[in-house]
Amino acid sequence: MRLSILESGHDGAAHEALQELRLSLGSDVLPGSRATILYRPEFFGKRFADWLHPLMRGPSDWTVGERELMAAFVSKLNQCPW
């Protein structure tokens, strides 16, 4: 399930950052993790990003690409649109 607020509920710098991301991706569909982090960062986004970054980019036996592929696979199984 994707919350519609994540498509249009951002303001200020978050809105501009997402617009730039849309342009660079050439798509109106945003990566859900990025939209979630930027929506109400004081409530959820900062804590989530603080947890996510080391998990995806920190030391591991898996490469960054392997971790990204696993995340994409799990998202597909969960029927996420990104």
The whole-number pLDDT of residue 9 equals 60
pTM: 0.55
Helix-then-strand count for the chain, H and E: 5, 0
| CA within 13 Å, CB half, 67 | 13
C-alpha 82/C-alpha 72 separation (Å) is: 8
Structure confidence by residue, pLDDT tens digits, 43-68: 878 888 888 889 889 999 999 999 98
Q: Which of 48, 53, 24 is nearest to 35 (CA)?
A: 48
C-alpha 54/C-alpha 35 separation (Å) is: 19
